[in-house]
Amino acid sequence: MQHLKKGSKKLLNAWAFYDWANSVYSLVIASAVFPIYYQALFSSAGINSVTIFGGEIRSTPLISYTTAAAFVIVSLLIPILSGIADFVGNKKVFMQFFCYLGALSCMGLYFFNLENIFVSLLFYFLALVGFWSSWVFYNSYLPDVAFPEQQDRLSAKGFSLGYIGSVILLLFNLAMIMMPAAFGLGDDGAAKMMAMKYSFISVGIWWIVFSQYTFYYLPKGNKSKNKVTWKILLDGFKELQGVYGSLSKNLVLKRYLCAFFVYSMAVQTVMLVAAYFGEQEINWGDDDQKTIGLISSILIIQLVAIIGAQLTSKASDKYGNIPTLIVINGIWAVICVVAFFITSPVQFYATAGFVGLVMGGIQALSRSTYSKFLPETKDTTSYFSFYDVSEKIGIVIGMLIYGIIDQLTGSMRNSILFLVLFFIIGALLLFRIPRNK
């Protein structure tokens, strides 16, 4: 490991490169291949529900509730882990642990099947916990490695690298799924399912290998000889309480967090369920057209998101972060309304393009805006823990509402339409933030 100065080009590149390493989870597992594989398991078995705890539950609410449960655990873990990391002074160790947990769990999805649904969902559960927990520590490094004037562009660069890297791996996986014979897997439906299972292994390998560059250059933090005790486990919650208390002295940050909590709830929910929505609600034709169509739409989102992240960064430079975020929330609301009515692949592709345009932008700009509003402090982990806990609790609420509406009405369209409300409220809350900031 080399010790690099804050703001140095090599350190900034090393930080941003972790997006290249871990974004393959977001694309292949959360968005593209796994949702197709998951639904294909139910289709091939001729069922659309399973028995859990003595009751029948449809496939989409099941994955929604599992996702929500995983985010509950992440929300509880974040303050505990940040408290320990601050106490022992080495948050990189925790970032590495969850990176490897997530990557190995992705490989474990190779064994996902309906016969052992509990164990199968556990791998999905742990992959999600690993990804988002490592993301907490990754985000908290932003103000440690970059100066305020560098943070918007660096945040956007990270997301752009993530989109590019994940698209490369997805294209390889798509080739393997659509032409399994060329990879020695055969040429039938079973071969395509096997290709999807191999794609899960490729995600884990990619994530572990490319994260090493980031881990080599990121600083460990301040060394400490303190020993971890049971008391330390509660320190993270005390730190969050301290951050919450400090919000009364920082009106801008407080109002921004309220807005972020609401609109992020909707953004993350849309991103987590988009592929499941496309699989169930769009008239693709046969299974091959569905597979190609869904993965192609995800690729459109990723590629357009690269442009969206850069355009958003430039817009924030010219018009300011908050006005830009207000406009993006408005676009998101329109997209959800349009999604309620779409039925054809062409309509889905067009909608995917607009989703990509605002997806990368709202994520990158939200992260850098929060970083800019932070008070002068060395305790960046606690503040970013608060940010991440807020986001994860929002996701839990969003996924539960989505799953409940889906379960009660039997349609994901009604759930998508309901999310419009969160984007409108988010935009209105952003208007409350003082403009001189």
User: Could you report the per-residue pLDDT of 363-400, keeping only the tens digit for each?
Assistant: 778 878 888 887 776 566 677 777 878 888 888 888 88
Both tokens assigned to 82? 């940040």
pLDDT for 437 equals 43
Tell me the CATH number of domain 9-430, given options 3.40.190.10, 1.20.1250.20, 3.40.309.10, 3.30.420.40. 1.20.1250.20
- Predicted TM-score (pTM) of this structure: 0.80
E strand or H helix at 52: strand 49-52
Query: Which of 96-100, 241-245, 250-254, 257-261 shows the lowest per-residue confidence on average (mean pLDDT)?
Result: 241-245
How far lies 332's CA from each of 264, 308, 392, 396, 425, in Å?
Answer: 11, 13, 19, 20, 12
Type of residue at 205:
I
What is the Cα–Cα distance from 92 to 141, expressed in whole angstroms? 9
What is the Cα–Cα distance from 92 to 166, expressed in whole angstroms? 23
pLDDT digits (tens, 9 = 90+) for 293-350: 888 888 888 778 778 878 888 888 888 888 999 999 999 999 999 998 998 999 999 9
SS3 (DSSP) at 223: coil
Both tokens assigned to 112? 């996902």
223: pLDDT strictly greater than 60:
no
Contact present, 133 and 106 (Cβ < 8 Å): no
